Amino acid sequence: MRINRESLLVYAVTDRKWLNGQTVARQVEEAIIGGATFIQLREKQLHYDDFLTEAIQVKKVTDCYNIPFVINDQVDIAIACDADGVHIGQDDLPVHSVRSLIGPYKILGVSAQTVEQAMAAEQAGADYLGVGAMFPTSTKQDAERVSFETLKQICEAVSIPVVAIGGITEQNVSLLSGSGIAGVAVISALFAQNDIKEAAKRFTKLSKQMVNV
C-alpha cells in the first residue's frame, strides 16, 4: 500500500494506557469509523509474541477498511505481521537500512525535528515525516519541542508529506494552519476519550479545516 497526503489527515497512534477493558483492535476500529485515516500501532512494553498477536489483530481491522497500518519502531514485527510499513525515530536503525529491510513498496515514516533531519530522511527513502513535539505531551515527556516556524520550514524543504505530532488537541490543532502539513498524529485526543468514534469525527472535521486554510 502506498500513501498520499489525504491518507495522513488523521494519523491515529495507539496507546494501551486507555484501553479500559477494550482491545486495541476494537479501539482502532472505532477511530477508523469516526474518520481516522492512518493507524500506527505503538507498544513499548509488550513482549514479541504478544506484540505480534496484537499487530495481526489490528491489521485485520485496517485491511477491512483499507486504511494504512504501520508499526512503531519494531521492524521485525512489521515484517512478521505484513504491516503496510513502519515508523522509526532518529535513534532507531538508519533510514536506508530500514528501507532495505522492508523493501521498496512498504511505507516508511521517519520522525524529524530539524530541516536537516527531514531532508536526510527523504533522501534515504522515507515516504513521510512525523514532526514534533508541537505542544507539551504526556505521552513522551522528554520529547523536544519543535517551533511552528521549523515545522513550516520542514514542509517547504521536502517533497514528501509531513504530519505534526505531540500534544495536539481539538483546542490547539487550528494553530497549525498554514504550516503546510498533510495532517496530524494524535494519541490521547482520540484514545483517551470516552467516545473514540465521536472524538475522531470531531478531529477529522477540525483537521480538514486546518489543512485547507
Q: What percent of the chain has pLDDT over 70?
A: 97
Task: Give the pLDDT of residue 1.
Answer: 74
Tell me which residue of 86, 118, 120 sits closest to 103, measured CA to CA.
86
46 marked ligand binding residue: no
Task: Give the pLDDT of residue 33.
Answer: 98
SS3 of the chain: the string is CCCCHHHHCEEEECCHHHCCCCCHHHHHHHHHHHCCCEEEECCCCCCHHHHHHHHHHHHHHHHHHCCCEEEECCHHHHHHCCCCEEEECCCCCCHHHHHHHHCCCCEEEEEECCHHHHHHHHHHCCCEEEECCCCCCCCCCCCCCCCHHHHHHHHHHCCCCEEEECCCCCCCHHHHCCCCCCEEEECHHHHCCCCHHHHHHHHHHHHHHHHHC
**Confidence band of 2 (pLDDT split at 50, 70, 90):** confident
Catalytic residue among 26, 140, 152, 208: 140
Task: Give the pLDDT of residue 142.
Answer: 63
127 marked ligand binding residue: no
72 marked ligand binding residue: yes
pLDDT digits (tens, 9 = 90+) for 184-204: 999 999 999 999 999 999 999
6 marked ligand binding residue: no
SS3 of 101-128: the string is HHCCCCEEEEEECCHHHHHHHHHHCCCE
Catalytic residue among 59, 106, 111, 179: 111
145 a catalytic residue: no
Catalytic residue among 42, 59, 99, 106: 42
Radius of gyration of the chain (CA): 16
pLDDT digits (tens, 9 = 90+) for 68-82: 999 999 999 999 999
* pLDDT exceeds 60 at position 114: yes
* pLDDT exceeds 60 at position 213: no
Tell me which residue of 100, 111, 170 sits closest to 144, measured CA to CA.
111
169 marked ligand binding residue: no
**Mean pLDDT, rounded, for 3-30:** 95
pLDDT digits (tens, 9 = 90+) for 26-56: 999 999 999 999 999 999 999 999 999 999 9
111 a catalytic residue: yes
Task: Give the pLDDT of residue 140.
Answer: 63
pLDDT digits (tens, 9 = 90+) for 121-180: 999 999 999 999 999 877 666 668 999 999 999 999 999 999 999 999 999 999 999 999
20 marked ligand binding residue: no
Tell me which residue of 152, 133, 129 sits closest to 143, measured CA to CA.
133
